[in-house]
Amino acid sequence: MQPRIVVKIGSSSITSDHGGLDRDKVAFFASELSSLHKKGYQVLLVTSGAIAAGFTLIGYKKRPKLLHEKQASASVGQAILMQNYQEAFAREGILASQILLTRSDFSSRKRALNASRTIEELLVHGIVPVINENDTVSIDELKFSENDTLSALVANLVKARQLVIITDMDGLYTEDPRKNPDAQRIDRVEEITDEIVGLAGGAGSSVGTGGMRSKVEAARIAVRGGIPVFVGKVATPGDLNAAAAGSGRGTYFETQLHSLPMKKQWVGFHSLPKGSVSVDAGAELALLNGGKSLLPAGIKQIEGEFERGDVIEVLSLDRRPLGRGIVNYASWQLKEIAGMTTTDVKNRMDVARIEVIHRDEWVSTV
């Protein structure tokens, strides 16, 4: 089976410092991706750049902040962005296609499945899908936090062998190397702890929006789905091949987990939770380490209005997200039985399943 790789390129990698598309940079990355393609990889590209490519043409002096200005910029810039990619890939003898996605496409299981089928068909024919968020119609409340997140979700959706997130930094450092020359690069991360997340900084350039923090958060999503991640620099010919081969200039985030089934992917990463429950320490331990279901006795607080079959988020007592699952109770029912023993629940309420969230419908996100 052909190895499958998802590569994410940010705005700052393909535009000038003041906005506008840099055709030479686009051509370089198309050449790097084509090299992998010709070696037998199935290549998917997740790219930013539509807003950056369009805002200067509209006449904005700097990257816009208002939603309607960003959407107008994306409307102009997306066509330019895709034209440049298609022309650059065509020079390599490869056909590229455009796929525009929104958060809603992932939150709907049917639409996510349709997107997956479309991508599979394109890959069968040797086509490189070029994927971007549909900024023209996305609203702030449902936007991906960054295209880094989009790339992680796509990697999980297509069960990629690897996710490569390209940035202007050659990996994650113990401190900001631009401020401290003694900072040390972390070559490999076996577990993304809170300490690792804390090492990541804020946003970088004025053109792009993604800093190292969003890349580490995206890596956390991908590795939870069994996808190893490389975050680093691709600036000279051969760098992308090196990244795919394990010798790239950056940080490798490793995982011992297996890829998740489509349903669990949707529950854990694509769905939009309708509410949340906070659980006690015993329930937290049982969910994260014991492979157990969540029972009413462990519930301490319920928030939001939800129905049986909805996805809800599970939080610790100190509000840390633990995971998500499909709930077997409506919120009003859960409020009546929270904290009760299994025997008391059975005596009080006629329910098909006693578990609040069964372990088969639970996904940890830590």
Model confidence at 170: pLDDT above 50: yes
Shared domain for 288 and 337, answered yes or no, is yes
Shared domain for 44 and 182, answered yes or no, is yes
Name 82's Cβ contacts closer than 8 Å, sequence gap at least 6: 96, 98, 130
Is 268 within a domain?
no
CATH of the domain at 174: 3.40.1160.10
Q: Which two tokens stand for residue 157?
A: 């959706």
Name 124's Cβ contacts closer than 8 Å, sequence gap at least 6: none
pLDDT of residue 114: 93
Q: What type of residue sits at position 144?
A: F
Confidence band of 204 (pLDDT split at 50, 70, 90): very low
Shared domain for 68 and 129, answered yes or no, is yes
φ/ψ of 7, rounded to 5, equals -120, 130
Domain final residue, candidates 212, 239, 261: 261
Query: What are the pLDDT digits (tens) for 232-261?
Result: 999 999 999 999 999 999 999 999 877 778
pLDDT of residue 30: 98
Is 41 within a domain?
yes
Shared domain for 81 and 183, answered yes or no, is yes
**Angle between helix 147-157 and 212-224 (nearest 10):** 20
Q: Per this entry, what is the length of the chain?
A: 366
Is 266 within a domain?
no
Share of the chain above pLDDT 70, in %: 95
Task: Give the H/E segment covering residue 263.
Answer: helix 262-265
Mean pLDDT in residue range 216-220 = 92
Q: What type of residue sits at position 102?
A: T
CA distance 116 to 158: 7
Is 317 within a domain?
yes
Shared domain for 143 and 280, answered yes or no, is no
CA distance 366 to 364: 6
Shared domain for 239 and 282, answered yes or no, is no
CATH of the domain at 354: 2.30.130.10
CA distance 333 to 36: 54
Shared domain for 296 and 186, answered yes or no, is no
Query: What are the pLDDT digits (tens) for 111-131?
Result: 989 999 999 999 999 999 999
Q: What does each C-alpha distance from 234 to 147, 168, 241, 317, 353 come to in angstroms?
A: 17, 8, 9, 42, 51
Model confidence at 197: pLDDT above 80: yes
| Residue 318, domain extent | 273-364
Q: What is the pTM for the complete model shown? A: 0.85
pLDDT of residue 146: 64
CA distance 331 to 61: 49
Q: What is the DSSP string of 202-258?
A: ----SS----HHHHHHHHHHHHHTT--EEEEE--STTHHHHHHHT--EEEEE---PP
Query: What are the pLDDT digits (tens) for 73-93?
Result: 989 999 999 999 999 999 999
- Return mean pLDDT, the chain: 90
